[in-house]
Structure 1
Amino acid sequence: MPQQKFVRDRHFYQIFAGLVLSLALQNLLTYSVNLADNLMIGAYSQNALSGISLCNQIQFLLQMMVVGVGEGVVVLGSQYWGKRQLGPIPHIIGAALRFGLAMAAALFLAALLFPYQILHLINNDPGVLAEGVAYLRIICFTYIVFALTNMLTASLRSIGIVKIGYIVTASTLCINIVLNSLLIYGRFGFPELGVRGAAIATLVSRCVELLIIVYYLKFHEHQLNLSVRKLVKIDTSYIRDYTTVSLPVLVTQAIWGLAQMIQTGILGNMDGSADVVAANSIAVLVFQIISVVGYGAASAAGIMTGKRVGEGDIGRLKQSTRSFQLIFLALGLVTGALIFAASGPVLLLYPKLTPSAAALTRQFTLVLAVTSVGTCYQMAADTGIIRAGGDTKFPLWNNSIFMFGIVLPMAALSAFVWKLSPVVVFFWLKSDQLLKCPIIFWRVNSYQWVKRVTRDT
């Protein structure tokens, strides 16, 4: 009897749905923290909103690098989990922490010592720069804490523990909203600190996040049984294993983060840059919030794909791969429709936008409604199947070629040589989300990405 092309087992979809909902909720709460900052600062002043948007590009670069470090843990850890061998995982986590904390410390020092010089690379508006520098001088102290929290969370995700993530983020959201209200506007006797108040609120929230995750690991997690001793005294041979898998992922994420900074620099140096940057900030946040299920599906598929590769059952792996692709495409269509529907109502949340910024926000959001269909398919197949299956080099080359060979050159030419409208430039900046779909479809269905990256213990 021929094997079914798609997974028919209801239990498979129940596990997948549980992971997706937990991860999507965590992503939603994470972006809700950003939305709270965005709305409260947006109501304070447009320059403050644009200034924080610039600083968020540095945060995004850090996030991409931390994700790269964490994904190495997930790829290796989930395959060991599939083999029912948990012993090597603490060694892998220890290796990841060394890389992640070193990068976070370097970025912290750069932002602390050269805030104006860094932000001036991506914007030239004096009012926006002043607000951005004031924010960056404080927010840079969150970088090391953020990196540590996210790498520890990734270690839990590698063995299917995801619920603690949204508990941590929910706590952050509540604390951040309360402190933002008190410190941005100076309510209930607190000083009015504007962007500095928003930065302090985020710093406190990040510290609470770390305390919660450390408490959970110490008192409630009983599979890995992590301790400071385990993370410091590791078998250094696992550093080589980890580096082999993680280095391409880390470079991919770092390049992606750098590319996003360059994109913001292109938009930030166009005529009317304050309006363009504000519109970009709002439109991208709308996309991030609505697409949380798509990103959750990618992460969930990554955990399950890594486990399937570790188990060594290629027939079942092919079934789940086909099923995941249909789910990704359906989520893309739903996400695009929701972003389209939100393109008008979102402007009601930002009454202090200039007419030009409001018009650009609507146009940028409509562009994202189209490109998000491609994002939900190709991003999820790339990171949730190909990378998680052990092929970490293909995403590096694929993303680099499209970003630096097509997206950035065409956007720069459109902005500074051909002097086209901001919406055309913005479309070019997001065009790779559609252009990458055919090659991702070919690669994922070739199954050349299936690679067991673990060792027998």
Structure 2
Amino acid sequence: MKKERKLSLFVLTWPIFIETLLYMLMGNADTLMLSQYSDDSVAAVGVANQIVFLVIVMFEFIAMGTSILVAQYVGAKDEKSTAEVSLVSISANFLFSLLLSLILLLFGKQLLYVMKLPAELLHEAYSYLGIVGGFLFVQALIMTIGAILKSYGYTRDTMYITIGMNILNVIGNYLFIFGPFGIPVLGVQGVAISTTVSRVIGLIVIFVLLVKRTNLSFSPSRLVSLPLHHVRNLLKIGIPSAGEHLAYNTAQMLITYFITWIGTEALTTRVYTQNIMMFVWLFGIAISQGTQILVGHFVGAEQYEDAYERCLKSLRSAIIISIAMASICFAFSDSLLSIFTTNKQIIETSKTLLLLTVILEPGRSFNLVIINSLRAAGDVKFPVYMGILSMWGVSVTISYVLGIYFGLGLVGIWISFIADEWLRGLLMLWRWRSRVWQNKSFVHQNIGTA
């Protein structure tokens, strides 16, 4: 391991912020550029991407466990275990993602049939899914290696790679959609090729950086002799975290179903409001991920008081920033909403929701920062249990009671979000202050019984 680097929350956080912002702004680049080519092509890629995004979420299970274990071992200055976990993670996610990529390649058409895709869109959707899905293992490797580099503190490396991949993707899209210089117009197929090629180039660069930064050896003899107990620990972190994400997404799907009862205008209002709110979330997400790395290092080094204080300091920063950003969004809500719509009813309802967001976002900050800190310390089950209870017992229930039964509509649903975030947030704060997490570290427990 190379000489110790002094890491601060700001040094770790600003590249994560920019990287996340790029994912938000550029994640739909294929769709936006295809809209200039064909509306049918946009629809085809949109449906195919639903399958792609679901599979990518499955890759995050191992990546999440990787980031936490590597951070703890880096903090403990255990070079041998750090290298082992890194190699095991890359190997496991490669094999898992290769299997899923083959399934998408071989059975992509059947999956699109299941989604009731109109016949006229099937060819383009399968063309996209076959190329992007067939090479999805490349994205899994990028995610895993990126998690390792971030846990070492090299967040700028992953940011630069994300910037480069997005630039290459946009250039490729332009070439294949608009066909300058006599280049053949390939439409959806060209977009799929552009996406895949940019990812392959990104993987090559991030792999070179990994070897340079960590001196990992990928010799066949080393890979064969890797201890498998690290896989168990990766799954002990990844599976509960996946359960929490699954609980949240299914709860949000049910709430969206409730909103359909209110009407199309309500669905549109929610989309526009959340598009603005995403820029408030960004700061909390970046701070929470930077905090997770630092807490993991402190826990690995058994500096529990530093870990404790780091989480609370980050929480204070996240709350202040979230209130400030939510207030700014409300103050300029007329201008922001006019970008999306001229419908006065949608704008007035969205303004009310953005006002409620000033109360909602500090509660979300509790969950983003403290849950990531608990995970970094190895306390992964408590946030899942409380999350499922609160998201389904509070958010879903109150959404129906206030939003539908009492007829408050989106305002009632936003109140349910506030109740859920604040209840969970205060429970997470209680858990952090109890210091139970100090006995949960994977590094300092008997491997396999953590």
Query: Normalized against structure 2, the TM-score is what?
Result: 0.79
**Alpha-carbon displacement from aligned partner over 1:39-65 (angstroms, at most 9, x marks no partner):** 435666777667655555544434443
Is residue 25 of structure 2 the alignment partner of residue 32 of structure 1? yes
Is residue 318 of structure 2 the alignment partner of residue 328 of structure 1? yes
Partner of 1:388: helix, strand, or coil? helix
Match of 2:281 in 1: 291
Quote how far apart the aligned CAs of 1:321 are.
2.8
Q: Aligned-pair RMSD on alpha carbons?
A: 4.2
Q: Which amino acid aligns with 2:20?
A: N
Correspondent of 1:205 among 184, 198, 208: 198
Change in CA separation of 1:50 and 1:279 when aligned onto 2, cut-off 3 Å = farther
Quote how far apart the aligned CAs of 1:184 are.
4.1
Q: Which amino acid aligns with 2:376?
A: A
CA contact (8 A) 2:327 2:358 kept: yes
Is residue 14 of structure 2 the alignment partner of residue 21 of structure 1? yes
CA contact (8 A) 2:360 2:417 kept: no
CA contact (8 A) 2:270 2:350 kept: no
For structure 1, which runs of at least 5 residues remain unmatched after alignment?
1-10
Partner of 2:80: helix, strand, or coil? coil
CA contact (8 A) 1:360 1:423 kept: no
Question: Which is worse superposed, 414-423 or 404-413?
Answer: 414-423
Match of 1:444 in 2: 432
CA contact (8 A) 1:47 1:128 kept: yes
Correspondent of 1:318 among 308, 318, 329: 308
Match of 1:5 in 2: none
Is residue 384 of structure 2 the alignment partner of residue 396 of structure 1? yes
Quote how far apart the aligned CAs of 1:84 are.
0.9
Match of 1:100 in 2: 93
CA distance in structure 2 between the partners assigned to 1:97 and 1:429 by the alignment = 37
CA contact (8 A) 1:336 1:372 kept: yes
Change in CA separation of 1:358 and 1:181 when aligned onto 2, cut-off 3 Å = farther
Identity %: 22
Is residue 336 of structure 2 the alignment partner of residue 340 of structure 1? no
**Alpha-carbon displacement from aligned partner over 1:377-413 (angstroms, at most 9, x marks no partner):** 3212111x11111101112112222233343455578
Match of 1:454 in 2: 443
CA contact (8 A) 1:64 1:254 kept: no
Is residue 227 of structure 2 the alignment partner of residue 227 of structure 1? no
Quote how far apart the aligned CAs of 1:326 are.
1.0
Quote how far apart the aligned CAs of 1:170 are.
0.5
Q: Which amino acid aligns with 1:444?
A: W
CA distance in structure 1 between the partners assigned to 2:115 and 2:345 by the alignment = 21
CA distance in structure 2 between the partners assigned to 1:190 and 1:114 by the alignment = 32
CA distance in structure 2 between the partners assigned to 1:356 and 1:38 by the alignment = 28
Match of 2:368 in 1: 379
CA distance in structure 1 between the partners assigned to 2:255 and 2:120 by the alignment = 20
CA distance in structure 2 between the partners assigned to 1:193 and 1:427 by the alignment = 47
Q: Which amino acid aligns with 1:159?
A: Y
Matches of residues 47-66 of structure 1 in structure 2 within 5 Å? Answer: 56-66=49-59
CA distance in structure 1 between the partners assigned to 2:369 and 2:186 by the alignment = 40
Is residue 142 of structure 2 the alignment partner of residue 149 of structure 1? yes
Matches of residues 348-359 of structure 1 in structure 2 within 5 Å? Answer: none
CA contact (8 A) 2:366 2:426 kept: no
CA contact (8 A) 1:89 1:224 kept: no
For structure 2, which runs of at least 5 residues remain unmatched after alignment?
none
Match of 1:7 in 2: none
Q: Which amino acid aligns with 2:292?
A: G
CA contact (8 A) 1:51 1:128 kept: yes
Query: Normalized against structure 1, the TM-score is what?
Result: 0.78
CA contact (8 A) 2:45 2:128 kept: yes
CA distance in structure 2 between the partners assigned to 1:442 and 1:236 by the alignment = 35
Change in CA separation of 1:25 and 1:106 when aligned onto 2, cut-off 3 Å = same
Partner of 1:88: helix, strand, or coil? helix
Quote how far apart the aligned CAs of 1:18 are.
0.4
CA contact (8 A) 2:52 2:129 kept: no
Correspondent of 2:229 among 213, 237, 240: 237
Question: Which is worse superposed, 47-56 or 299-308?
Answer: 47-56
Quote how far apart the aligned CAs of 1:364 are.
9.7
Q: Which has the higher contact order (CA 8 A, sep 6+)?
A: 1
CA contact (8 A) 1:79 1:454 kept: yes
CA contact (8 A) 2:315 2:365 kept: no
CA contact (8 A) 2:48 2:112 kept: no
Matches of residues 34-183 of structure 1 in structure 2 within 5 Å? Answer: 34-37=27-30, 39-41=32-34, 56-101=49-94, 103-105=96-98, 107-108=100-101, 109=103, 112-117=108-113, 119-120=115-116, 136=129, 138-183=131-176
**Alpha-carbon displacement from aligned partner over 1:395-442 (angstroms, at most 9, x marks no partner):** 211222223334345557888888875675577578633442221222
**Alpha-carbon displacement from aligned partner over 1:338-382 (angstroms, at most 9, x marks no partner):** 4435644455666xx795997599569736565333222321211
